Amino acid sequence: MKQHFFLPLLTYPDMTSEFMIANAVALAHHMQATLTVCAVEITIPDVSNALSSLIIDAAKMARDAEALSRKRASLLVQRVLDQAKAASVDLRVREIKTGEPFVAETLAEASRAYDLVLLESAGISRPIVEAVLFASGRPLVLYPAAPFGGRIDHVAIAWDGSRAAARAAHDASPFLERASKLCLLSVTDDKPFGHDTGDHLVENLLKNGVTAETVRARAGSTPIGETLQSKAFELRADLLVMGGFGHSRLREFVLGGATEAVLANTTLPVLLSH
C-alpha cells in the first residue's frame, strides 16, 4: 500500500526551513509516497488591558504576529508546490489554525491520520517533536538542518532487545524493504541484554534476501545517543532507526538517555518510534 507522509509547516515564531522542505519532497519521491503538507497558522487571543495598552499595543502585536504567520504559510506552501511538481510527487495541502500555545498538541492529533511524520531538529520544534513522538501513535523521521538526497539504501537499527526497539524496527518496514543493506547496531556497555533476539532478527532478514549484519560498539563516557549516531555515520547509514523512550512525570516527559541525546543533537535522519 502506498505510504502517506505528513509534513507540518511551522510559521511562528520561526518557520520551517528550506532544507526540511527539500528533504521531505526527496524522501516522498524516493519512497513513491503521497506527501501532505500542513501549514500551521497561529492565532493569538487578545489579552490586552488598560495597563498593558499604556506600555505596548498588545492587540497590534497579536495582529502583526498572525499576519506574519499567514504570510509565511502561503510562502512555504508555494515552495512545496513548486518542488513537488518538479519531482512528480503526489502532494496534498491542508491548513490548521490554532492558538500559539496549542501547536504541539494539535499537530500530535493531526499526525494520527498518516503513516509517517517528517520533522526537523530545531530548538523551536522540540516540544512538537516530543508531542508527536509520544502522543501521536505514529513514527517520525527527524532531520537535522542539512540537505539529504532522500535515498535510503543503508539502514542502521539501534538494537537493545527492548520492546521500543522492536516497535521501531517494525515501523521502519517500508524502509527496510527497499534497503540494500541493514545493520543491527548495539551499544554493549549501556545495559546488559541478551543478543539472541537480535541475532534471530538478522537471520530472518538474511532469509528474506537482505544483506544484514550485527555491529556492536562501546560508548564509554560518550552519551549513547551520540555513539549510535556517530557509529551509524561511520557505517555510512542513510537512516538510523531507534525506539523513543520517555514517561510522564508531573505532566513533563522524562526522556531516556539515548532519546534525549538524539533530540538534543541530531546529525543524520533518525526514525523514532514509541
- The DSSP line for 96-156 is EEEEGGGHHHHHHHHGGGSSEEEEE--GGGHHHHHHHHHHSSS-EEEE-SS-------EEE
Computed over every residue of the chain, the mean pLDDT equals 87
The C-alpha cell that represents 202 in the structure block: 538478522
Q: Using DSSP bridges, classify how beta strands 116-120 and 91-99 pair: parallel, antiparallel or unpaired.
A: unpaired
Structure letter (DSSP) for residue 28: H
Q: Which of 99, 114, 143 is the last residue of a domain?
A: 143
Question: What pLDDT, on a 0 to 100 scale, did the predictor assign at position 191?
Answer: 61
Any residues with CB less than 8 A from the CB of 38 and at least 6 apart, and which?
6, 7, 8, 9, 93, 94, 95, 96, 107, 110
Q: Of residues 201 and 145, which shows the higher confidence score?
A: 145
**Together in a domain, 226 and 246:** yes
**Together in a domain, 90 and 128:** yes
Q: Does residue 248 surpass a pLDDT of 80?
A: no
Q: In this structure, is residue 242 part of a structural domain? A: yes
The C-alpha cell that represents 162 in the structure block: 527492548
Q: Which of 92, 117, 143 is the last residue of a domain?
A: 143
Domain containing residue 249: CATH number: 3.40.50.620
The three-point CA angle 138-139-142 to 5° equals 135
pLDDT over 90, % of the chain? 58
pLDDT tens, position by position, 66-87: 999 999 999 999 999 999 999 9
pLDDT tens, position by position, 115-140: 999 999 976 788 999 999 999 999 99
| Cα–Cα nearest to 273, from 247, 248, 241, 227 | 241
**Number of domains present in the structure of the chain:** 2
Question: What pLDDT, on a 0 to 100 scale, did the predictor assign at position 55?
Answer: 55
pLDDT over 70, % of the chain? 88
What are the beta bridge partners of residue 242? 272
The C-alpha cell that represents 194 in the structure block: 541478551
**Together in a domain, 186 and 267:** yes
Q: In this structure, is residue 148 part of a structural domain? A: no
- Please give the Cα distance from 206 to 175 (Å, whole number): 16
Any residues with CB less than 8 A from the CB of 28 and at least 6 apart, and which?
5, 34, 35, 84, 87, 89, 90, 150
At residue 47, the 3 state secondary structure works out as coil
Structure letter (DSSP) for residue 188: T
Please report which confidence band the pLDDT of residue 196 belongs to, taking 50, 70 and 90 as the band edges.
Answer: confident
Question: What pLDDT, on a 0 to 100 scale, did the predictor assign at position 120?
Answer: 94
**Together in a domain, 117 and 158:** no
Give the structural domain span for 200. Answer: 154-273
Structure letter (DSSP) for residue 209: T
**Together in a domain, 160 and 30:** no
- Please give the Cα distance from 274 to 81 (Å, whole number): 31
Q: Does residue 253 surpass a pLDDT of 50?
A: no
Any residues with CB less than 8 A from the CB of 108 and at least 6 apart, and which?
128, 131, 132, 135, 136
Q: Of residues 62 and 232, which shows the higher confidence score?
A: 232
* Helix H or strand E segment including 174: helix 173-178
The C-alpha cell that represents 179 in the structure block: 534497503
- Please give the Cα distance from 28 to 30 (Å, whole number): 6
Q: Which of 143, 164, 192 is the last residue of a domain?
A: 143
Q: Does residue 53 surpass a pLDDT of 60?
A: no
Any residues with CB less than 8 A from the CB of 139 and at least 6 apart, and which?
116, 117, 168, 171, 172, 271, 272, 273
7: how many CB neighbours lie within 10 A of its CB? 26
Q: Does residue 251 surpass a pLDDT of 70?
A: no
Q: Which amino acid is at 124?
A: I
Q: Does residue 43 surpass a pLDDT of 80?
A: yes
Is the overall model pTM greater than 0.75, yes or no? yes
**Together in a domain, 37 and 79:** yes
